[in-house]
Amino acid sequence: MKYVVGIDLGTSGVKVLLTDEKGTPQASARAEYLPDFYEGGCVEQDPEVWWEGTLKALKALFKENPDTADKVGAIAVSGQMHSSVFLDKAGKVIRPALLWNDTRTSKQVKEIFDLAGGKEKLLDMTCNLALEGFTLPKILWLKENEPENFARLDRVIMPKDYINYRLSGEIATDLSDAAGTLLLDVKKSDWSTELCEKVGVSPSILPKLLPSVGVVGNVKADVCSETGLKPECKVVCGGADNSCAAVGNGVVKAGQGVVSIGTSGTVIGFVDKIESEVTGGVHLFNYSVPDSYYAMGCMLCAGEALNQFKRTFLSDISFDELNELGAKAPAGSGGLIFLPYLFGERSPHNDPNARGVFFGINGNTDKGCYIRSIMEGVGFAVRDLYEEVVKFTELKEVYITGGGAKSDLWGQIISDILGIPLKVLNISEGPSYGAALIALAGAGMAKDLESAKGDCVKVVKEFAPSGNTEIYNKYYELFRRLYKTNKENFAYLKEL
């Protein structure tokens, strides 16, 4: 029996997943860590923390599953997007990495738009808008604020690339992660030398590009000694966490997409070719399936809206009881509408000032109405994302995953709001499982990602529209109007 390992390198921990050569999960292990938060929206992590966590998790995995390490044929990593690892000529880390949720770079974002020649020109070069979380603003921040460190800069890579570097000694990145730097010409699948020139960044600091299933190298001897892996074990490039999560949730060919309701929320759709007008309403990135793309709409607050309400007002009841109360309320929650913009919003508004709103409270509004309105408000925001994603691809098969998928009520509400069936899969590993499938394909243990998925991924439940779609269509139009009419009020609140 041969195995592969998929690694999910997150912000608060690393998870390693062992699967057999047929893609069946066998065991997993995890190591925890935390980022460092500072004033001014600064969030950093020392890449050494990631490496130590990865080694700890791998050792725990193989300790609990002896006689597997020497049979692992490949490893692939899924990593947090955008976060910047700055290396010098010796391959040493210059300073802690600036993370995806670091927002200190507002000045540099404005500079990028100006230097690029405006929004339309930037979209033409990269298919994406500049945001504080992306990698390019972080490079410019380093150049302007830490010139001594910038002078030492030889290479910029992403978190999963650093793990691959420590595993293999080789530096490379894949297209799905490169797309999140804002320096990739997504349509051409190559670094944008035009944008590099405009913003004053040398292409020489950017790593070699590979597909997600490309092989970076083999595991180094010292890592083999420490973990029990064999030198024949391949290090497959892997991909960005959202890309790997979509692969792990069954999105491996045209017509497929996935709705994820976790702390935040996403809608992702497989895109063969970028043929529609690019407006910046969603991200357009290269996908882990070779020669393809994905459209991704991202909302900043999904499941966390319900969690926050429960913590504040209903901490004494279980989530099952919460669902029971919500199920007693009618579709439309008795006229109560919730805007889930607790932390601002990304797609489709790109508005950091947006905030949460309950609209339509009346004398009959009870606990169930509040609960259901939160679920419906998140569902309406999901529809905002879905409407943008389907501008680039026709979705015929859509999966739903995350904590929201575990609630029959919430899954049903979202199916009704979208007016489409939503399928739940038996696999809930997400990014680590997607990375494992990428390892199988990259090592030649599977023909491609669809073959790697095989018979292991099965539909175990389906939500189908129940008849509430028509009433939700009407409430959705009001939901959309509420953001537009409050946009200026949100900005004024920010000033206050």
Residues assigned a catalytic role: 241
| 3-state helix/strand/coil string of the chain | CCEEEEEEECCCEEEEEEEECCCCEEEEEEEECCCEEECCCEEEECHHHHHHHHHHHHHHHHHHCCCCHHHEEEEEEEECCCCEEEECCCCCECCCEECCCCCCCHHHHHHHHHHHCCHHHHHHHHCCCCCCCCHHHHHHHHHHHCHHHHHHCCEEECHHHHHHHHHHCCCEEEHHHHHHHCCEECCCCEECHHHHHHHCCCHHHCCEEECCCCEEEECCHHHHHHHCCCCCCEEEEEEEHHHHHHHHCCCCCCCEEEEEECCCEEEEEEECCCCCCCCCCCEEEECCCCCCEEEEEEECCCHHHHHHHHHHHCCCCCHHHHHHHHHHCCCCHHHCEEECCECEECCCCCECCCCCEEECCCCCCCHHHHHHHHHHHHHHHHHHHHHHHCCCCCCCEEEEECHHHHCHHHHHHHHHHHCCCEEEECCCCCHHHHHHHHHHHHCCCCCCHHHHHCCCCCEEEEECCCCCHHHHHHHHHHHHHHHHHHHHHHHHHHHC
